[in-house]
Structure 1
Amino acid sequence: MTRWIAGIGVALAMAGTCELQASEFSDKIQASFDAGNPKPTKIFKLRDQVEVHYFAPTQPIESGNNPAFVYIHGGGWRGGNPKGSYRWCRYLAEHGVSVFTIRYQRANEKKGIKPIQCVKDAKTAMRWVRANAKKFGINPDKIAVAGNSAGGHLATALVTIKNYTDAGDDLSVSCRPDLLLLASPVIDNGPGGYGNGHPTTKQADYRVKGFWRDFSPIHNLNKNLPDSFVIMGDEDPLIRVVSVELFGQAVAESSSEFEWWVFPGKGHGLFSSKESYLTPELMHIFYRWHVFLAKHEYLPAPLSAGDEVQTLVEKKN
């Protein structure tokens, strides 16, 4: 049954307060994040500069058949690293999920490393996780992938981009996620989009101009998209709202669920941690992700949250 939980063409309701009051959920995640930046259980090196960082669940939800969560960091394909997601990875592991986060080669124009390589690395890492499912006691058909910004592009590329696969990959192992969670994903790389003429700096950025047609997720949609969740700011300068709508329509046409939440008045930096490691925006993103994962039986339901968690973001309907 097609489920469309988002739309376009209606005004957003004004959000409530951005201040988080005490609630069971906020107290629980705050306590986890306050415990300091953790270290992965183990780091697996797949090839040069490509790693999978693993966080073992404290107590698996389902022994031998556990759900898994893979996180891909953002940074414009040129920056970022997995450490920024370590606290969130630990939080999920504390709730019984097997968690992985990916380190991919960062694009570097001077060294001739294009964003294409980031796609190849993400596919390799995802296939590695699924191929080693038995080793980690996870269900190979229950792997959620999340990503923010350029990491959201790479997560979406796993289900849309057919080209750009490393020669060493085992193509009999699928790189398709079973669930997709995206935050401020730069999924439109067409003319004028991110990396292809978008004025992200004083000079327009044309890094993907020569190969955008088979690199841009929104231009390579198909009828095999998984249940997907998108969260973004309605004033994000890097993401065209119509692109998210087109992606949502394609998800619905795949007979999958699409859920779309927005932060009124917010731009692209929802994952920024300049002020603190757990901003109100991050608190709400993690809550929505927890709810979505619980809905699909990857996690137990989250603890109750106060009205302030419900009102910072508004669903398009």
Structure 2
Amino acid sequence: MKLIACLLLATFVSLPALAQNAKKAKKAPKEDIKLTSEAVKTREVVYKTTPQGELKLHVFSPSGEVQAAVQRPCVVFFFGGGWKNGTFKQFVPQAEYLATRGIVAACADYRILNQHKTLPDKAVEDAKSAIRWVRGHAVELGIDPNKVIASGGSAGGHLAACTALVSAYDAESDDKSISAKPNAMVLFNPALNISTLYKERVTGEALMTLEMAEAITPNSFLSKDTPPAIIFFGTADKLKLGGDEYVKKARELGLRAEMWSAKDMPHGFFNREPWIQVTARKMDEFLASLGYLGGEPTLKAPEGVPSLDKE
């Protein structure tokens, strides 16, 4: 029963609320956390109009003149909150940092239960729409449509994985000739085994049916063309079981899937200092290994902090 209770919290409660209840992450995330002192260009664009309202991408671009010939990588971040709560602001520090490194970063709005009265299928639909939108506007954004990264935390990590793996729930308004599959994934404690959580009566009937749970379970759909991924978990996070399952399946298929864990850390640990810096540096190194970034991370490693363990 204790296991079920922990999973229920990790799946449904917003990351800030969850962290307040965790022994080793008692403080709510600071809204003024910054990973860089450099200025970046910001703007908002509407990427989708739904019956529940407009959805925006909050875009962070490298400052200075961008040459037309330069096609930069692009990352789209999806916030966490159990498909019920949350805000794009969660990943603003990471987005600003990557913009200073030469990547166009976008933090996406998507439909959530408490604000839009919608279920996870609509969130999956919106995430796929966001990836298609940035690809379809590659020239306007100055990005390389073949270097699109999907990222997110918890439910947002689930959505990022769904853009790569789930074929269900495409918006009727989407241009299906544009792929919603990213070229790489950066996943922070993602929920990857949704059907298992449902069957254990963790997800609850209010959020989805078994049919929906099975349709949006990323772990069920890995294939040879699944893009490379880096995944972060705290070892005290019960959702890590789904991450372990993902990595096992990925490696059996010969895919690149890196798992980095923080000893004894709970769900949402990456939102807190100093782990936000530690995970951002590792994210930078992963993207550099793909050829999306050059040089060493400009973010300094915090001193006296336990390192992440590679599994």
TM tier, smaller: 0.7 to 0.9
The residue identity in structure 2 corresponding to 1:230 is I
- Whether the 8 Å CA contact 2:274–2:305 is kept in 1: the answer is no
User: What one-letter code is carried by the residue in structure 2 that aligns with 1:222?
Assistant: S
- 1:272 is displaced (CA, Å) by 3.8
Structure ranking higher on relative contact order (CA contacts 8 Å, 6+ apart): 1
The aligned residue for residue 281 of structure 2 is 287
Tell me how far 1:306 sits from its aligned partner: 5.1
CA shift in 2, pair 1:297/1:116, >3 Å: same
Corresponding residue of 1:23 = none
Cα contact 1:284–1:309 (8 A) shared by 2? no
Partner Cα separation in structure 1 for residue 42 and residue 198 of structure 2: 32
Aligned partner of residue 42 in structure 2, secondary structure: coil
- Residues 133 and 255 of structure 1: CA distance in aligned 2, closer, same or farther (over 3 Å): farther
Deviations 1:168-202 (A, max 9, x none): 111110000101000100111123x1696228xxx
Percent same amino acid at aligned positions? 27
Task: Name the stretch that deviates more: 44-53 or 291-300.
Answer: 44-53
Taking only aligned residues, the RMSD between alpha carbons, in angstroms, comes to: 2.8
Report the AA paired with residue 265 of structure 1. D
Q: Deviations over 1:4-47 (max 9, x none)?
A: xxxxxxxxxxxxxx9xxxxxxxxxx64528x8xx8832333521
Q: Mark the CA change 1:95 to 1:304 in structure 2 (over 3 Å): closer, same or farther.
A: closer
- Tell me whether 1:88 sits opposite 2:94 in the alignment: yes
Give the direction of change, closer, same or farther, for the CA distance of 1:61–1:240 in structure 2 (3 Å limit).
farther
1:22 maps to which residue?
none
Q: Which residue of structure 2 lines up, in the alignment, with residue 77 of structure 1?
A: 83
Distance 1:214 1:263 in 2: 30
Q: 1:314 to 1:271 in 2, by over 3 A?
A: closer
- 2:176 counterpart of 1:187: no
Superposed CA deviations along residues 103-155 of structure 1, whole A, max 9, x for unmatched, are 0011249x751110000011111100001111212110011111110000000
Contact 1:108 1:114 in 2 (8 A): no
Code of the residue aligned with 2:278 in structure 1: it is: H
- Separation in 2, partners of 1:107, 1:194: 17
Work out the number of aligned pairs and report it: 273
Question: What residue in structure 2 maps to residue 236 of structure 1?
Answer: 237
TM-score (norm 1): 0.77
User: What code does the residue aligned with 1:280 have?
Assistant: P
Alignment match, 2:297:
302
Residues 128 and 254 (structure 1), Cα distance of their counterparts in 2 relative to 1, 3 Å cut = farther
1:137 and 2:145 aligned: no
1:296 partner amino acid = L
Corresponding residue number in structure 1 for 2:118:
113
Decide which of 100, 103, 112 is 1:97's aligned counterpart.
Answer: 103
Structure 1 regions of 5+ residues with no counterpart? 1-17, 19-28, 274-278
Provide the secondary structure at the position in 2 that maps to 1:244. Answer: helix
**How far apart, in 1, do the equivalents of 2:304 and 2:214 lie?**
39
Shift of 1:219: 2.2
State the distance in 2 between where 1:295 and 1:247 align: 21
Q: CA deviation at 1:255?
A: 4.0
Q: How does 1:148-297 map to 2 (within 5 A)?
A: 148-191=153-196, 193=197, 197-198=201-202, 207-210=207-210, 211-237=212-238, 239-241=239-241, 243-273=242-272, 279-297=273-291
Measured after TM superposition, the shift of residue 102 of structure 1 is 0.7
Structure 2: which 5+ residue stretches go unaligned? 1-23, 25-33
Aligned-partner Cα distance in 2 for 1:68–1:164: 23
Summarize the alignment of residues 44-83 of structure 1 with structure 2, pairs less than 5 Å apart: 44-47=46-49, 48-59=53-64, 63-83=69-89
SS in 1 for 2:280: helix
Measure, in 1, the Cα distance between the counterparts of 2:159 and 2:125. Answer: 9
User: TM-score, normalised to structure 2's length?
Assistant: 0.79
Matches of 1:144 and 1:217, distance apart in 2: 16
CA distance change for structure 1 residues 39 and 132 in 2, over 3 Å: closer, same or farther? closer
The 1:280/1:165 distance shift into structure 2, 3 A limit, reads same
